[in-house]
Amino acid sequence: MSTAALRRRRQGFTLLEVVAVVAIMGMLLYLFVPNIASVDSALVKGGAREIGAHLEYARQRAVMTGKPHRLMIGIDEGWYQLEWFATDLDDLADDELPPPLDLRGPIPMSPAAETIPSYRPIPGPEGDVAWLDERLRFGGVEGDEGWYESGEFQIVFLGDGSCDPARVVVETGDERGLVVEVSPMLDSVRIIQDEG
């Protein structure tokens, strides 16, 4: 047979070559696909742990200071922030407090510190707005008032550390997620599997 005839005959793949390529691709998928799921699982678990840590910290600070604390959650945007019910003076350390007003000399004309309590971010980096990882989202939040899938929601701890029950769902885009549950009867914050 001429070399031109051999070339025309060898233009396709043999069945053995096709089976070998399919087997190699199958092994790669077998090794790679479970890792994608475990990365998503670790990501969701990390996000849920972070929310749970913020909730526990809010509870502890509420008990230590005797002032209500709350975790504000922006469900649509994926942000959350720790706040406390305090005045401007509560944010200052003892050595930063203004001296008592002396009426014998010039009277300072600067505005007085805000003395009406309101919710404000807790001092330090813990009070900064935090964001879920871009691959995560809040699936919703459940409280005494019902289930919320959008808007803002607050979980409030009173000065004694008590609060209403709440559930926060942290999930990936394909809705695999975990629930961060605030259970006042057990006095705990725990992470459970999402049943939905």
pTM, two decimals, is 0.69
Classify residue 188: in a domain, yes or no.
yes
Give me the sign of the Cα torsion angle 178, 180, 184, 186.
positive
| Domain interval for residue 127 | 12-193
The C-alpha atoms of residue 125 and residue 136 are separated, in whole angstroms, by 22
Say what the pLDDT of residue 77 is. Answer: 95
Percent of the chain surpassing pLDDT 70:
71
Give me the sign of the Cα torsion angle 82, 88, 90, 94.
positive
The total domain count for the chain is 1
Count Cα neighbours of 150 within 13 Å in the Cβ-side half-sphere: 0
Q: pLDDT tens digit string along 63-115? A: 998 999 999 999 999 999 999 998 766 554 445 445 565 667 676 666 655 56
Summarize the confidence of residues 11-40 as an average pLDDT.
72
Classify residue 84: in a domain, yes or no.
yes
pLDDT band at 28; cut points 50, 70, 90: confident
